[in-house]
Structure 1
C-alpha cells in the first residue's frame, strides 16, 4: 500500500527552495508518496497587474512519488472573519479531495504549514504534523491577530506532533497552545554553498556588502540608507524579490539591486563578499523568525552582521542594536575576517545541512506512523 503524505504548504512550489520543498522532496525520495499543495491565492490577487495562475487547481507529477497541486483561488478575509474562514476552509478541503482522487491518493499523514484551517485537518482523519516556521498572527494585511491565534491554537491541539524552528519565542508560544514542540532549525544546501572551499586559494574578497532575501515590510530601508552613506567605499548588493519601494536607495551610487536569483547564481556572489547582512526592523514578526539566509551566509564562509531578530544571537554572527552599531560591527567583521575564519565558518555550518534536518524529519514521520512517541 502506498504511504501517502499530504503537504499543506504556505508557499507555492518553485518560488524558492524552502524548508517545505526540502522536507517534502526528501520524504518522497525515502519511501513515501507526497502531494505538495501550493498555498492558495485569494481572488484579490487577480486585481494585481499581470497576475495569473496557469493550471490552477491541477495536480502535476514532478518526479517519482512527488506531485504538486497547483495554487487555486479562495476568498479573502479568511484570516480576519470567521464566516469567510469557514467558507474558505470548505473550498480548500473540497478542492484538495477532488484533486487527490485523480491519483487515488489517501493520506496517512498530513504535514501542514498552515494554521488557518484546522477543521480540514480533522476531516482527513489522518495523523498530523504541524510545522510552524513563522508567527502567522504578526503578518500585515487582512489579519485579525486574535482570530489567527485562536485558529493556530486549535491547529496545535488537533496535531499529533508540533515542530518549530530554532526560535525560542515560537517554541514558547506553541507550548502555551498546548503542546511542547520539537525544534528543528532551518538549514542550508551545504554542498552548494561550501563549494568555495575548492577555490579558497584563489578567492578574492571584494568590498561589497550583500543581502539575500525578500525585500518586504520588515526590511529596514533607513538602516541600509545609513550604511550606504557611512560606508561609501563599499558597494551594497540586494538580491531577492522586492515588494516595497526602494527607489530612495537606488538613487545612491554604491548600491545594486540584482533582483531574484537562483541559489547557484548568488552563492558565488556570497563567496567574494566582505560581509552578509540581515537589516531587519525589530517587531513581533521578526522576533519570531529563523532566517534561512543566515545559514547560507555561514556555509559560504561570510561574516554576518544582523539586527537582534529571531534566534540570531544563538549563532556565530555580529549583532547590532542601532544603525551606528551596525556600521561599527561591519567594520569589525571585515577587519577580523580571514580565509582561515571563513573555512571554519563553512566547516562548522555542515551542522546546518538540509540533509541532516531532513533525516530528523524522516525519523519523526516513521516513528509517528509506527506508533512510537516523540519527545519535545
Structure 2
C-alpha cells in the first residue's frame, strides 16, 4: 500500500522565496517509490476557498485561511476554534483515500494541533526545527508572552500525540524530552539539517553584484530576521572598511531600525531576495560565510541551514552564538564564536586561507557527509522501521538543563 504524506507547513510553498528543511523533506518524500502523493497543508493570510492546487513540482497544496490577514491574528493557527471547520473541509477531501493508502501526518511547526485527533492517521510525526514559542528577536513583551503561551500549549499537544519526533539540534531534543518526561523518549531522534551538496559544490558561475570590488566579501545568505545581530555587523563594517558585507535574502525584520542603520554603511550591500537556484552563485561570490546571531533561547536551538552550504561551496564559515554547531568547529573550516568581540578576529584568521585547496577540500568533505538525501533516508528508515535505533536515555533530570 502506497503512502500519502501530509506536511503541516508554516506557509504557502513559495512564501518568502526561500527553501527550508520542510521543502526539502516534502520533495524527498515525493520522490520515494512508495509515495502516492505529498500534500502541503498550510495557513495563509490571503483569501482562499480552501481548495487543492497543484504546484509545479507535483506536490499538492491546501491552504487554510487565517482568522484575519493581519500578522497579529496568526495566533488563530494554534487555537482549535479558529481553524477547526476549515480543517474539517480538508479531512472530508482526504476520506476518499482512507481505505486505499497509508496516511502519514508530518507536523513541521505546531499549527493546527487538533488535526492529529480529528482523523485516523497511520502515523503522526513531528519534525521540530525551531524553538517555536520563543521570540525570534530575543526581546520580551506582553504580546510575546501571550504568543509563547498559545504556541507552547499547541506544541505540547503535538509532542504528546506524535509517534515519532525528529529534532534538528540536541538543544531541541532536550526541550522535547522535558515536555515528555525522561521515561518516555525512545521515539525522539536528532537529525540535523543538511545540504544539497551537488548543487553547491558543482556550481561554477559567480553572481555579478559587486563589480569592481576586489577585497574580501563576507556574506550572509537567507531570510534576514531579528534573530541576527545587526549591531555586531555594523560595528565590524565600521572597523573593516576594506571588507564588503553582503546580505542576500528577503527582509523579514519588519522594518527593524538596526537593519536600516546597517544598510547605511558604505561597505554593506543588500541584494534582496533571489531565486533558490541562484543561491549557489552567491555562495561562489562570498569569501567567508557569516552567521551572526544574537544570544537568545531561540538561537540556542538553531542549526542554520547555511552552515553546510557554505562548506559545500568550499568557503569557511563563522558562527556567532550558535551553540548547536559548536561540536563541528574545526580550524579554518568552521569557526564558532561565543562572544561578539571574537567575530572580527575569527574572520581575519580564516581570511588568509580562504582559497587554500587543503582547507577548501576539507570543508567540502565535511559537507558531503551531511547531504539531505542521507539525512532524510535515515529519517525514513526510522519512520518505516527499516533500522533499529538506540533508545534515548537520560541519567537524571539535571541533564535537561
TM-score by length of 1: 0.85
Distance 1:375 1:168 in 2: 15
Say how many residue pairs are matched: 358
What pairs with 1:251-266 in structure 2 (closer than 5 Å)? 251-266=264-279
Cα contact 2:8–2:111 (8 A) shared by 1: no
Cα contact 2:204–2:281 (8 A) shared by 1: no
Give 1:153's match in structure 2, choosing from 142, 152, 156: 156
Partner residue in 2 for 1:343: 361
Distance 1:60 1:210 in 2: 36
Partner residue in 2 for 1:190: 197
Distance 1:253 1:113 in 2: 39
SS in 2 for 1:108: strand
Q: What's the offset of the Cα at 1:89?
A: 3.9
Q: What's the offset of the Cα at 1:96?
A: 2.2
Distance 1:38 1:257, change over 3 A: farther
Partner residue in 2 for 1:90: 84
What pairs with 1:1-376 in structure 2 (closer than 5 Å)? 1-15=1-15, 16-30=18-32, 31-42=34-45, 52=46, 57-62=50-55, 66-74=59-67, 85-100=79-94, 108-126=103-121, 127-139=123-135, 143-165=146-168, 167-178=169-180, 179-180=184-185, 181-196=188-203, 207-244=216-253, 245=255, 246-316=259-329, 317-337=334-354, 338-367=356-385, 375-376=391-392
Distance 1:5 1:153 in 2: 22
Q: What's the offset of the Cα at 1:285?
A: 0.8
Q: C-alpha root-mean-square deviation of aligned residues, in Å?
A: 3.0
- 1:119-147 CA-to-partner distances (Å, cap 9, x unmatched) read 21011121101111001110356643234
Distance 1:40 1:74 in 2: 10
Distance 2:96 2:58 in 1: 14
SS in 1 for 2:246: strand
Distance 2:389 2:371 in 1: 25
> For structure 2, which runs of at least 5 residues remain unmatched after alignment?
137-142, 207-212, 393-401
Q: What's the offset of the Cα at 1:81?
A: 8.4
Cα contact 1:74–1:91 (8 A) shared by 2: no
Cα contact 1:23–1:361 (8 A) shared by 2: no
Q: Which moved more, 1:128-137 or 1:332-341?
A: 332-341
SS in 2 for 1:209: strand
Cα contact 1:4–1:34 (8 A) shared by 2: yes
Cα contact 2:289–2:315 (8 A) shared by 1: yes
Distance 1:285 1:276 in 2: 21
Q: What's the offset of the Cα at 1:206?
A: 5.1
Q: What's the offset of the Cα at 1:354?
A: 0.9
Distance 1:344 1:198 in 2: 21
TM-score by length of 2: 0.80
Cα contact 2:67–2:74 (8 A) shared by 1: no
Cα contact 2:135–2:298 (8 A) shared by 1: yes
Distance 1:129 1:320, change over 3 A: same
Partner residue in 1 for 2:399: none
Distance 1:334 1:327, change over 3 A: same
Distance 1:40 1:305 in 2: 34
Distance 1:72 1:356, change over 3 A: same
- 1:257-298 CA-to-partner distances (Å, cap 9, x unmatched) read 111112332312222422110111111111111110112111
